[in-house]
Amino acid sequence: MNETPETPPSAPESTTSAHGAKGGMSDSKTSLYAKHVKIYPQWVRGMFRNIKWTVLGALLSLYYLIPWLRWDRGAGTPDQAVLVDMTGRRLYFFWIEIWPQEIYYLTGILIIGAIGLFMVTALAGRVWCGFTCPQTVWTDLFLFVEHLIEGDRNKRKKLDAGPLTLNKAVRKILKHSVWVLISALTGGAWIMYYVDAPTVTMDILTGQASTTVYGFFALFTGTTYLLAGWAREQLCVYMCPWPRFQGAMFDVDSLVVTYEGWRGEPRGKPKSKAPEGVDSKGDCIDCELCRHVCPTGIDIRDGLQLGCIGCGLCIDVCNQVMDRIGSPRQLIRYDSISNQASRETGKEVGFKFLRPRILIYAAILAVVIGIMAFTMGTRKTTEINIQRDRSPLFVTLSDGSVRNGYTFKILNMVREDRSFVLGTQGVEGAIINIVGKGAGNWKAAIDVTVKPDNVGTFRVYVRAPAFGLDGRSQELNFELLDTVSGKTTLHESIFYGPGNK
């Protein structure tokens, strides 16, 4: 405990909580709105900062580069590997092509994402918020730019508090220009997930893009600039619903960022500065660096809070302080509540991985992933839709036979012509007639061809002698033979008649 920390402790920005109003609710003059107190996070180096850089680099690279990946799907189809093709009504993901009627795959992916997030939160707290959430990633990037141009915490505070000088104006203009540039790249990249990347980039740069493209480009650029540059921690604290219900996922064995109050308190000057023979102070020297580096401006020594996004930066800085004063590291650490209780009483600690809620989340994940994998593996290449005529239900023809009408739709989900043979089953003596194709029973097969990536719509009449009918209605199956694969599928419908007299 021979050195003071690198940055001297400074007074709190305000005696009012950064996110709360002074006074209680009983005071009728108390405003329900607290004035925003700007947070000036201090730069810090350390393990968690390095993890954050690595994750940030990987996620931003993926985000900006993925739209430029190409994937050959043959002539007449987009060659962008990942594309939400709004005009063609398809979602392309490398070799997977999702049709609008297969939107349930998206539901499955959302369920996997949500349960995965619940499980990670139950295991390791808010690591999503602290490391991978887009708001965190872009805010980190914007803070880095601010740090480079305006300097660290104290310099930024001084610059903001000082009068407008040439130096201040240049730095502010430069910072906001870089922020707008990053925002424009971010907004532009988002559009590329919906329109061919090289084409839309050229269109935007040459002024030939549509008003819609420019409108969305401006919208995404503006929201990035506002959320990452101005809203920052306020989005996490006030707008995001996730911190509000994440408490339901935590238990005493979840890893959260904790301050070892039993070791740190009573906080105060370093022990080396205490009077001779007196060792009444805890390990916390009350330098406040943990609060200064915090991107949400909270003091982790006040306990687990909604504002803590679990980024671990306070751990990095406190470890440096502990190294300097010669005390053991990890006064602030990622730990579970149960471990903290054990540490305090000198009992053995350990991480309890297999807990009921983790097993339940894992089981749900396994089931949903299993269903998704099975449905993807056995994915149909044809969708059939049969609409029966409701008015009239049936027609009695001059020869006494009964006729029912159907509209038969065949969706061909592959990129080549498909040829099918259509017939019927279940109604004795039935004759099928496809308008424009001819009539016949199953043996006298009728060919229908459906163009690639298209829906073939056919008007179908089924005629049957009245004597063969059991009652007012009976089951009728349409048999559809795929002439290339040789597979036959059955599609249920109903055949109506006058009923037994």
| Lookup result for tokens 């310099």 | 155
Interface region with ligand SF4, contact rule CB under 6 A, candidates 53-61, 89-97, 296-304, 409-417: 296-304
Interface region with ligand SF4, contact rule CB under 6 A, candidates 14-22, 187-195, 284-292, 391-399: 284-292
DSSP structural state of residue 70? B
Binding mask 218-257 for ligand SF4 (x = CB under 6 A): ---------------------------------------x
Looking at 56, 228, 289, 410, which residue binds ligand SF4 (CB under 6 A)?
289
Contacts (CB under 6 A) with ligand SF4, residues 313-352: 313-314, 317-318, 321, 331-332
Nearer to ligand SF4, 228 or 287 (CB): 287
DSSP structural state of residue 42? P
Interface region with ligand SF4, contact rule CB under 6 A, candidates 100-108, 134-142, 173-181, 310-318: 310-318
Alpha helices in 251-350 (DSSP H): 261-264, 289-293, 313-325, 337-344
Least distance (Å) from ligand SF4 to the CB of residue 270? 9
Cα-to-chain-centroid distance, residue 16: 35
Least distance (Å) from ligand SF4 to the CB of residue 273? 14
Q: Does 137 interact with ligand SF4 (rule: CB under 6 A)?
A: no
Distance (Å) of CA 322 to CA 10, 11, 132, 363 = 18, 21, 28, 42
Nearer to ligand SF4, 331 or 466 (CB): 331
Amino acid letter, residue 308: C
| Lookup result for tokens 């019927």 | 424
Nearer to ligand SF4, 329 or 415 (CB): 329
Least distance (Å) from ligand SF4 to the CB of residue 283? 7
Interface region with ligand SF4, contact rule CB under 6 A, candidates 92-100, 103-111, 308-316, 441-449: 308-316
Least distance (Å) from ligand SF4 to the CB of residue 8? 12
Nearer to ligand SF4, 90 or 324 (CB): 324
Least distance (Å) from ligand SF4 to the CB of residue 255? 12
Farthest CA pair distance, the chain: 119
Burial class from Cβ neighbours inside 10 Å (0-12, 13-18, 19+) for residue 260 reads buried
Give 334's contacts (C-beta < 8 A, 6+ positions apart): 124, 125, 255, 256, 257, 258, 310, 312, 315
Cα–Cα distance, 79 to 68 (Å, whole number): 10
Binding mask 253-272 for ligand SF4 (x = CB under 6 A): ----x------x--------
Least distance (Å) from ligand SF4 to the CB of residue 249? 17
DSSP structural state of residue 18? T
Least distance (Å) from ligand SF4 to the CB of residue 417? 59
Contact 141, 228 (CB under 8 A): yes
Q: Does 288 interact with ligand SF4 (rule: CB under 6 A)?
A: yes
Q: How many CB atoms lie within 10 A of CB 330?
A: 16
3-state secondary structure of 439: strand
Cα–Cα distance, 422 to 426 (Å, whole number): 14
Q: How many CB atoms lie within 10 A of CB 315?
A: 26
Contact 221, 186 (CB under 8 A): yes
Looking at 123, 127, 298, 432, which residue binds ligand SF4 (CB under 6 A)?
298
Q: Binding-site residue total for ligand SF4 (CB under 6 A)?
A: 28
Looking at 300, 402, 422, 469, which residue binds ligand SF4 (CB under 6 A)?
300
Least distance (Å) from ligand SF4 to the CB of residue 355? 23
Cα–Cα distance, 66 to 75 (Å, whole number): 21
Looking at 46, 312, 405, 497, which residue binds ligand SF4 (CB under 6 A)?
312
Contact 183, 64 (CB under 8 A): no
Q: Which of 478, 484, 480, 487 is nearest to 421 (CA)?
A: 480
Nearer to ligand SF4, 266 or 392 (CB): 266
Alpha helices in 310-355 (DSSP H): 313-325, 337-344
Distance (Å) of CA 465 to CA 67, 113, 151, 331 = 60, 56, 91, 89
Q: Does 285 interact with ligand SF4 (rule: CB under 6 A)?
A: yes
Q: Does 308 interact with ligand SF4 (rule: CB under 6 A)?
A: yes
In the numeric block, which tokens belong to residue 485? 């694969």
Binding mask 178-197 for ligand SF4 (x = CB under 6 A): --------------------
Looking at 81, 143, 284, 411, which residue binds ligand SF4 (CB under 6 A)?
284
Nearer to ligand SF4, 54 or 441 (CB): 54
Using CB under 6 A as the criterion, which residues of the chain lie in contact with ligand SF4 when the complex forms?
Answer: 257, 264, 284-290, 293-296, 298, 300-301, 308-314, 317-318, 321, 331-332
